[in-house]
């Protein structure tokens, strides 16, 4: 048996005129996140945490931001595609633990829905998909309310 652990990080700035998606959930907000896809920072961090140890690649290699087919794509689709590649490579996803870093909007009320959606896509029990939310106490770009960041860790077994 082989066990690997991966880590992923993503950050996006807020942008007017976009909807806000985090963890596959649409969050009511006057601003969204700027990016080529829907800019879901949590899913992007999770993809990196999974794809790194399993495939030796990151989200930018798997789904390049200069490819028009990924323009405004739902990141849940990217996650499902990444999970398929990982499983095809012979890996089982054991668990994912993630953190959302945002001063605003408040993420905690949305975490149960995020866990449900992401666990289903990743094909793991909900108890193995953990998400926490924190602020940076008004420090840095997230603390100033300029955007959102996320970090994720995943364990895979072969």
Q: What residue numbers does the annotated binding site for a divalent metal cation cover? A: 10, 12, 44
75-88 helix and 111-122 helix, angle to the nearest 10 degrees: 40
For residues 137 and 142, give the distance between their C-alpha atoms in angstroms, rounded to a whole number.
Answer: 9
For residues 114 and 39, give the distance between their C-alpha atoms in angstroms, rounded to a whole number.
Answer: 15
Residues of the binding site: 10-12, 36-37, 44, 58-60, 63-67, 102-108, 134-137, 141, 144
Who contacts 116 (Cβ-Cβ below 8 Å, separation ≥6)?
Answer: 126
Pair of tokens at residue 27: 């969050």
The C-alpha angle with vertex 84 and arms to 82 and 89, in degrees rounded to 5, equals 95
Phi first, then psi: what are they for 62, rounded to 5°? -75, -40
Q: Are 70 and 37 in contact (CB under 8 A)?
A: yes
């Amino acid at each position: 048996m082989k066990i690997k652990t991966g880590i992923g990080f993503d950050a996006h700035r807020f942008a007017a005129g976009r909807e806000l998606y985090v963890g596959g959930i649409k969050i009511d907000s006057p601003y969204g996140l700027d990016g080529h896809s829907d800019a879901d920072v949590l899913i992007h961090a999770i993809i990196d945490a999974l794809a790194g140890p399993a495939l030796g690649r990151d989200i930018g290699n798997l789904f390049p931001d200069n490819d028009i087919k990924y323009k405004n794509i739902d990141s849940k689709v990217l996650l499902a595609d990444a999970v398929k590649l990982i499983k095809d490579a012979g890996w089982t996803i054991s668990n994912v633990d993630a953190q959302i870093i945002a001063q605003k909007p408040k993420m905690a009320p949305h975490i149960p829905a995020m866990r449900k959606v992401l666990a289903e896509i990743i094909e793991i029990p909900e108890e193995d998909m953990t998400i926490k939310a924190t602020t940076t106490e008004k420090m840095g770009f997230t603390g100033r309310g300029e955007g959102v960041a996320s970090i994720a860790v995943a364990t895979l077994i072969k």
